[in-house]
Copies of this chain bind each other. A is one copy, B any other.
């Protein structure tokens, strides 16, 4: 059973599940577990691991349109080496500081495999869910897609410095907060753009039509992509990116562009059903966490 199937099976026990973060009063809270074999390629520094793992939770807070307030991390590793730990904590602290949140520590655990579990909190009186998109609106993304796919290729090519740089992504917290008054539905692109659109479509009971050539593709993708198909794979399917995917009314677009610090690209529009790109249907494929399960 993969993660989505498991989550559906649990829906009756967890009525609040299904968004990037859970809503508790005027707060949002989200947790993520990452580990070496699937999330930290060889060459990933502990500093990058701290930044990236805490950043993934901050991105979930951002995807709710919430202001991140604090984060914690539980760090499990075969040995608790002081330099590695310090590097991890500094990465975690730095990514929190970059979005105005406080890193308040966590837990240490001796664990056969390097494993990190992070939790982030945010304030939002009116969080943006995945369920509010309506046909006629436009669908947009912040920043550029494919950064993490390119980072993985860099690690695989032995360029750890470049890989680490690409893996330390900017969580879009400030943009998420700025989008909150306008976005009708929002999530982050951690499962890949294709899968994100399918999830927004399911939650909002709508569809999407986008154009491949409108996708903002990260500069690093062209360095590593073998051809146009591979570029598409890296930008739209691979996932593990942390950009915001959101829908807004076209009339709000100029306000959105003025308010949001990250680049905003309109990639398509909300339709009645189906997820299609210029040349046909877009499969619901991408990075499904725990898909090997």
Contact = CB atoms under 8 A, between A and B. Distances in A.
Interface of A: 1-3, 5-7, 9-10, 13-14, 16-17, 22-25, 27, 29-35, 37-38, 69-70, 72-82, 85-86, 89-90, 93, 102-113, 115, 117, 119, 121, 289-293
Contacts of A81: 1
Given A24-B121, A109-B33, A112-B37, A82 B1 contact: yes
A6 B119 contact: no
Copies of this chain, whole number? 2
B74 A33 contact: yes
A76 to B, nearest CB: 5
Given A22-B104, A117-B117, A290-B80, A38 B110 contact: yes
Contacts of A3: 80, 108
Contact of A85 (B10, B16, B31, B107): B10
Given A10-B89, A89-B13, A119 B31 contact: yes
Contacts of A10: 85-86, 89
Contacts of A35: 76, 109, 111
Given A6-B108, A10-B85, A32-B107, 16 more contacts: A3-B80, A3-B108, A9-B82, A13-B93, A14-B103, A24-B69, A24-B102, A29-B72, A31-B73, A31-B107, A32-B74, A33-B74, A74-B117, A107-B289, A108-B290, A117-B117
